[in-house]
Amino acid sequence: MSYSTRRGEYYPWNRGPQPVIELLIDGQPWGQIGAQTFRFGNRICRMLLSGRDVLEEFLKVEGKNPDTINRTIPPGDWMPASVIVQGYSEFEGPAGQRIERPYLKFLCNESRERGVGLRKAEGLLSVWKDLEGFAKEIGVPQIGRRNNSF
């Protein structure tokens, strides 16, 4: 399995085009393997970048005992706001079914969240330089610029 990224644009209804980066698996969008696409903008990218240590630990233990993971990452170089990372042993799939696989949920001010399982954690860590380049190119978003939250 190989991981790569591609960049694109997202067109929200109330703003102009917004840059996004997408994690690909074997050159295909994540959705080709049965899940939704794994595409995100600068704020989600920076939230994930702030949690590198947690992603590495999650992979190292192969997702065992994810319910013990509950971390608050203070504001830092990547994020001007705190990020909460919580581990879970199961999640709800796109059709509402319960899937018993470990994953991490990254949260920032309750307005941004992203779930990451073992395969996505592996993918993110393997394309880390691409993610850093994307975030650096776009710049640090301002707190309060959208819906008074980060």
Residue 34 confidence class, pLDDT cut points 50, 70, 90? low
- pLDDT of 82-97, one tens digit each? 999 999 999 887 788 8
Nearest residue to 73 via CA among 22, 42, 127, 109: 109
Would you say residue 35 has pLDDT above 80? Answer: no
CB 61 within 8 A of CB 44: no
Mean pLDDT is highest, among 33-37, 72-76, 90-94, 142-146, for 72-76
Amino acid 120: pLDDT: 93
In this prediction, residue 33 has a pLDDT band, given cuts at 50, 70 and 90, of low
Cβ 24 vs Cβ 3: under 8 Å: yes
100-111 residue pLDDT tens: 999 999 998 756
Please state whether the predicted TM-score (pTM) of the whole model is above 0.75.
yes
pLDDT at 49 over 80: yes
CB 18 within 8 A of CB 12: yes
Name, in order, each residue with C-beta under 8 angstroms of 117's C-beta and a sequence gap of 6 or more: 63, 91, 101, 102, 103, 104
- pLDDT at position 112 is 77
For 10, the enclosing helix (H) or strand (E) is: strand 3-10
Q: What is the pLDDT of residue 148?
A: 34
Q: What is the DSSP string of 55-99?
A: HHHHHHTTT-SGGG-EEEEPS-SS-SS-EEEEEES-EE-TTS-EE
Q: Which residue has the higher pLDDT, 77 or 47?
A: 47
Tell me how far CA of residue 98 lies from CA of 37, 58, 87, 91, 95, in angstroms. 19, 21, 16, 6, 9
Residue 145 has a pLDDT of 47
Alpha helix positions (H), 103-150: 118-126, 128-138
- pLDDT tens digits, one per residue of 107-148: 987 567 899 999 999 999 999 999 999 999 988 765 554 443
